[in-house]
Structure 1
Amino acid sequence: MVWEVLKDALERRAKATGREAVGGEAVHGALDVLDTGGGSGNFAVPVARLGHHVTVVDPSPNALFALERRAAEAGVADRVRGVQGDAHGLFDVAERGGYDVVLCHGVLEYVDDPAEGLRNAAAALRPAGTLSVLAAGLGGAVLARALAGHFTEARQALTDPEGRWGSGDPMPRRFTADQLSELVTAAGLEIAAVHGVRVFADLVPGVLVDTEPGALDALLQLEEAAAELPAFRSVATQLHVLAERD
């Protein structure tokens, strides 16, 4: 679902700038996209296949090696550039104000200062640029621990400042929709949409999806229907915010 939202945003941005990609071929350079923490290219390669140019910043050499291989296999090696770096020192390896779209997916949970990470992501945007933020949701973790019978851990996550359920929690930080939205607006961006991601998917037994005819498509349709409803996005495993720079 995040990909569908992002793809639509890329199309709108390309039309607004007059730099659309046609048939997978870049026209006038198409868009310049920055993927912070982009890892092995789960989003970068599909974006490049639309005809856009993508710079991936990631601290892991192994992830960047996998990115290079994936881009080559997809035939978009000339549109994807990987550089080693992180959100804190973003402008040591990326251009300030040089990108039409910036992706900040799975980054804010791990950085020392999420506000700084978002400020840097916003500063990398050109005027009227688009920012896509994906981060771990607090409600989904609380609900998952409670349904598993770990009620003390669920309460701990609910009351912990970082949204962690205990010392064994592999996630350093989680957010509510309000917290994530406040960080985005504090970075000087205007929020266009907030979506809950994996509202139901992580709670449904996999065997039901695998064995029931049409269950996967029905689950995806349910996720899409619930994604923007506040009551459901508050218990999503992940939160996605789409924002724009004035």
Structure 2
Amino acid sequence: MGDRRRRSMRTALVAEALRVALAGRIRTDPAAGLDIVDLGGGTGGFAVPLAVEGHRVTVVDPSPDALASLERRASDEGVSELVRGVQGDAAELPEVAGKSTADAVLCHGVLEVVDDPVQALQAMGSVLRDGGVLSLLVAQRNAVVLARALAGHLAEARTALQDPDGRWGPADPMPRRFDEAGIVAQLAEAGFMVHTVHGVRTFADLVPAAFVDSEPGATEALADLERAASQHPAFRALAPQLHILATR
């Protein structure tokens, strides 16, 4: 399976769960769409497809280059009028997005790098309307412990297991990883109620690409396996990422 197809599989399950959550926020007139803020949304991998579905999306990202790519992507899809890019970060979110203005906030792969996760979550909560949805995607500690051990880096695996931030050493490029209990506790501290937790990429990174490419129906079977395992507690605990849907 090529890298693009693997990335598509990884994001598809997140997009499916998000779509179900957003369906519960559809107003009296479904054609009106929702107001969505995508923190760290970069080039619009989630924002543009959501705009294609009729939602209004504000992408808040610190990178001007990413926002320029977002603008081009939205133009190519004919949804420029529904996508707005704003330069900023988590700390500036209430000012640049506005308080109580969003039906949903996306925070995918951002909480790992902010200075204070709870403060960032509180900022996200402040821009949500009552009952608004938070879609949170974070890196999970357990997966990197297993990965370092299987690669023969046993000392690094033990370090990641015991380190408060789930890092395997000074050279680890990831500033912070989470476990399920820890991130759920931080969400509660920030005033959120967790509704669902899914594991992401449990098998997609492990199954050999040559097998999936050569076996008829293997791509669909792998996607089905990912979907089934995503809510299974034992396998969810081994997933490289956790996708959490919560409300404030």
Report the TM-score when normalising by structure 1: 0.93
1:8 maps to a residue whose letter is V
- The total of aligned residue pairs comes to 236
Superposition deviation, residue 147 in structure 1: 1.6
Alpha-carbon spacing, 1:19–1:243, altered in 2? closer, same or farther (3 Å): farther
Matches within 5 A, 1:120-131: 120-131=123-134
For the 8 Å contact 1:144–1:203, the answer to whether it is kept is no
Measure the CA separation in 2 of the matches of 1:106 and 1:18.
Answer: 32
1:69 pairs with one of 68, 72, 84: 72
2:113 pairs with one of 106, 110, 113: 110
1:60 pairs with one of 52, 60, 63: 63
Alpha-carbon spacing, 1:169–1:19, altered in 2? closer, same or farther (3 Å): farther
Measure the CA separation in 1 of the matches of 2:94 and 2:133.
Answer: 18
Measure the CA separation in 1 of the matches of 2:59 and 2:175.
Answer: 23
Superposition deviation, residue 92 in structure 1: 2.5
Measure the CA separation in 2 of the matches of 1:111 and 1:46.
Answer: 26
1:11 pairs with one of 15, 23, 37: 23
For the 8 Å contact 1:197–1:223, the answer to whether it is kept is yes
Asked if 1:229 corresponds to 2:232, the answer is yes
For the 8 Å contact 1:55–1:82, the answer to whether it is kept is yes
1:31 pairs with one of 34, 39, 43: 34
For the 8 Å contact 1:196–1:236, the answer to whether it is kept is yes
State the match for 2:201 in structure 1.
198
State the match for 1:89 in structure 2.
92
For the 8 Å contact 2:94–2:124, the answer to whether it is kept is no
Superposition deviation, residue 19 in structure 1: 3.7
Q: Which stretches of structure 1, 4 residues or longer, exceed 4 Å deviation after superposition?
A: none
Deviates further, 81-90 or 195-204? 195-204
Measure the CA separation in 2 of the matches of 1:96 and 1:19.
Answer: 23
Measure the CA separation in 1 of the matches of 2:38 and 2:50.
Answer: 10
For the 8 Å contact 1:34–1:103, the answer to whether it is kept is yes
Measure the CA separation in 2 of the matches of 1:168 and 1:208.
Answer: 32
For the 8 Å contact 2:94–2:126, the answer to whether it is kept is no
* Cα RMSD, aligned residues only: 1.0
Superposition deviation, residue 205 in structure 1: 2.0
Instruction: Name the SS for the 1:220 alignment partner.
Output: helix
For the 8 Å contact 2:142–2:239, the answer to whether it is kept is yes
Asked if 1:44 corresponds to 2:44, the answer is no
Measure the CA separation in 1 of the matches of 2:109 and 2:186.
Answer: 15
Measure the CA separation in 2 of the matches of 1:55 and 1:213.
Answer: 40
Instruction: List runs of 5+ in structure 1 lacking aligned partners.
Output: 22-26
Instruction: Name the SS for the 1:34 alignment partner.
Output: strand
Asked if 1:212 corresponds to 2:215, the answer is yes
- Give CA deviations for 1:12-70 in whole Å, capped at 9, x if unaligned: 211xx32413xxxxx3xx21000011100010001111100000000000100010010
Instruction: Name the SS for the 1:90 alignment partner.
Output: helix
1:160 pairs with one of 159, 163, 168: 163
Measure the CA separation in 1 of the matches of 2:246 and 2:18.
Answer: 11
Matches within 5 A, 1:233-244: 233-244=236-247
Instruction: List runs of 5+ in structure 2 lacking aligned partners.
Output: 1-12
Deviates further, 124-133 or 143-152? 143-152
Report the TM-score when normalising by structure 2: 0.92
Superposition deviation, residue 171 in structure 1: 0.8
Instruction: Name the SS for the 1:67 alignment partner.
Output: helix
For the 8 Å contact 2:51–2:79, the answer to whether it is kept is yes
For the 8 Å contact 2:146–2:157, the answer to whether it is kept is yes
Superposition deviation, residue 206 in structure 1: 1.8
Percent identity of equivalent pairs: 56
For the 8 Å contact 1:115–1:183, the answer to whether it is kept is yes
State the match for 1:148 in structure 2.
151
Structure with more of its chain in helix, by fraction: 2
For the 8 Å contact 1:184–1:191, the answer to whether it is kept is yes
For the 8 Å contact 1:36–1:104, the answer to whether it is kept is yes
Measure the CA separation in 1 of the matches of 2:226 and 2:151.
Answer: 21
